[in-house]
Amino acid sequence: MQVSSHARELADALHLIAHGDADEKVRFIAERDPDWFVDHVLSVDYTDRDAVAPESGRIDRRMLDAGIARIALRDRTFDALRVSA
């Protein structure tokens, strides 16, 4: 049986959550959902993101993992689960 691209993307995201470093996780989120990245990772209000410098500090890995999972599951859950069943 051939695995769908949606199932492969979900598996890749889960692998990233389990084994990826912070840079890989940040890159994944920034490339796929830049608005969420700015709002949640950089902690900048979207409406003022061009006028406000981002806060410096540590990034919460749990938040990155949750963001990756949200992106991976968005619009893909049912296709990926159908293939794995």
Q: What is the pTM of this model?
A: 0.65
How does pLDDT run across 25-68, given as a tens digit for each residue?
989 988 998 888 887 777 755 555 555 555 555 678 888 898 89
**At how many degrees (to 10) do helices 22-32 and 61-73 cross?**
40
Q: What is the pLDDT of residue 3?
A: 62
Amino acid, res. 15: H
The structure tokens listed for 47 are 């409406």
Residue 4 has pLDDT above 80, yes or no: no
